[in-house]
Amino acid sequence: MGRCVTYNHVVVDQRTDEDRAADRLFRALADTTRRDILRRVLVEPASVSGLAARYEMSFAAVQKHVTVLADAHLVVKERRGREQMVRGDVGTVRQAAALLEQLEELWRARVDRMSAVLADLDPGPRPDPGRP
Amino acid sequence: MTVLSTTPDTADLTLVVVADLAATPERAWSLWAEPRTLERWWGPPTWPATFDEHDLRPGGGAKYHMTGPDGTAAHGWWSFLAVDEPTRIELEDGFADEHGVPAAGMPTTRMVVELEPGGTGTIMTITSHFASQEALEQVLAMGMAEGMREAVGQIDAILAAG
- What pLDDT does B66 receive? 85
Are A117 and B72 inside 8 Å of each other by CB?
no
Chain A nearest-CA residue for B48: A10
Q: Which of A6, A35, A122 sits opposite B147 (nearest CB)?
A: A35
- Sheet with A83-88: strands ordered across: A46-47, A83-88, A75-80
Collect all residues of chain A within an 8 Å Cβ-Cβ radius of residue B126: 107
3-state helix, strand, coil in chain A (%, to 5): 65, 10, 25
End-to-end CA distance of chain A: 53
Q: Which residues contact A94 (CB under 8 A, 6 or more apart)?
A: B152, B155
The SS3 assignment for A78 reads: strand
Collect all residues of chain A within an 8 Å Cβ-Cβ radius of residue B37: 117, 121
C-alpha A87/C-alpha B62 separation (Å) is 48
C-alpha B159/C-alpha B153 separation (Å) is 10
CB-CB contact of A62 with A48 (8 Å): yes
- What pLDDT does B93 receive? 85
A3 has pLDDT over 70: no
Q: Which position has the higher pLDDT, A108 or B82? A: B82
- What pLDDT does B155 receive? 41
End-to-end CA distance of chain B: 36
- What pLDDT does A76 receive? 92
Task: Give which of A12, A32, A44 to mutate to test B binding, by max B Cβ within 10 Å.
Answer: A12
- What pLDDT does A92 receive? 66
The structural architecture, per CATH, of the domain A4-89 is Orthogonal Bundle (1.10)
Are A100 and B30 inside 8 Å of each other by CB?
no
Q: Counting beta carbons within 10 angstroms of the beta carbon of residue B59, is it exposed (0 to 12), middle (13 to 18) or buried (19 or more)? A: exposed
| Domain boundaries, given as residue ranges, for chain A | 4-89
C-alpha B94/C-alpha B54 separation (Å) is 15
3-state helix, strand, coil in chain B (%, to 5): 25, 45, 35
DSSP letter string over B88-106? EEEEEEEEE-TTSPBPTT-
The one-letter code for the residue type at B117 is P
pTM above 0.90, yes or no: no
Please, which pLDDT band fits residue A93 given cuts at 50, 70 and 90? low
Chain B nearest-CA residue for A14: B74
Task: Give which of A14, A111, A112 to mutate to test B binding, by max B Cβ within 10 Å.
Answer: A111
The ipTM is 0.76
- What pLDDT does A24 receive? 73
Collect all residues of chain B within an 8 Å Cβ-Cβ radius of residue A121: 23, 27, 30, 37
CB-CB contact of B29 with B44 (8 Å): no
R_g (Cα) of chain A, nearest Å: 23
The SS3 assignment for A73 reads: coil
A45 has pLDDT over 50: yes
Are B133 and A2 inside 8 Å of each other by CB?
yes
Are A117 and B126 inside 8 Å of each other by CB?
no
- What pLDDT does A97 receive? 54
pLDDT digits (tens, 9 = 90+) for A50-90: 999 999 999 999 999 999 999 888 899 999 888 889 998 87
- pLDDT tens for each residue of chain B, 162 residues long: 478 887 765 445 577 889 999 999 999 999 999 999 999 998 878 778 999 999 999 999 999 998 877 787 878 899 999 999 999 999 998 878 888 888 776 567 788 999 999 999 999 999 887 654 444 544 343 333 344 444 444 444 444 554
C-alpha B155/C-alpha B145 separation (Å) is 15
